[in-house]
Structure formats: structure tokens, C-alpha cells
Amino acid sequence: MDFSWMGWTVPTALFFSTIISLLIGMAVWEYAVPGGHPRVGILRFETTRGDRLFLSLLGSAFIHLAWLGLVGPDLWWALGLSLIYAVCVFRWV
């Protein structure tokens, strides 16, 4: 199969591999510890582990877009900031 039309680059492949790995990890976590017990965090609405993962990914996308617009194409600091953001979301949201 010819996937050259998709423009696969190493960063693109790493991005999609990371997303798939996160989804597989969440599935394994759910299988090992079912339920996840929804909780109410600082945003004052009930969230599950999947909701917190979605909020982490969505927030990370906005962090990266803001970084690109304000700072430039060097995204390593944006990645670090996104990881800190994700940890905070899973801890307090």
C-alpha cells in the first residue's frame, strides 16, 4: 500500500503513535481497575479518566498552537508545558 500521499514524517508518526499508545494505556488501565470512579475536581463537574485524557489532549493542542503563534517552531518547551498540564489535569480535575 502506498501511503506517500499522507506525507508521513517522523514527527507525524510519533504523534499518532503517542495517541494510540495513550488510548491503549487507558484501555489497559480500565481493564485492570474498572470504573475509574467519576470525581468532581476544581472545574466543578464530574469527570472520568477518559474525560481527563480528552481535556489533557485538547489543552495540549491549544498550548502548542499558542506556542507556535507566540514563540515559534521550537516546540520542546511546549511539550514540557503540556506534560505538566496533563499531570495537573489528572491530579486536580
d(C-alpha 83, C-alpha 60), whole Å:
8
> How long, in residues, is the chain?
93
What are the respective helix, strand and coil percentages of the chain, to the nearest 5?
70, 5, 25
What are the domain boundaries of the chain? 1-34, 37-93
pTM over 0.85: no
Average pLDDT over residues 68-90: 93
Rounded CA-CA distance 55/37 in Å is 17
> 3-62, pLDDT tens digit by residue?
677 777 777 788 889 999 999 999 999 999 887 789 999 989 999 999 999 999 999 999
Give the Å distances, CA to CA, from 20 to 13, 24, 41, 45, 65: 11, 6, 26, 27, 21
Residue 1 pLDDT exceeds 90? no
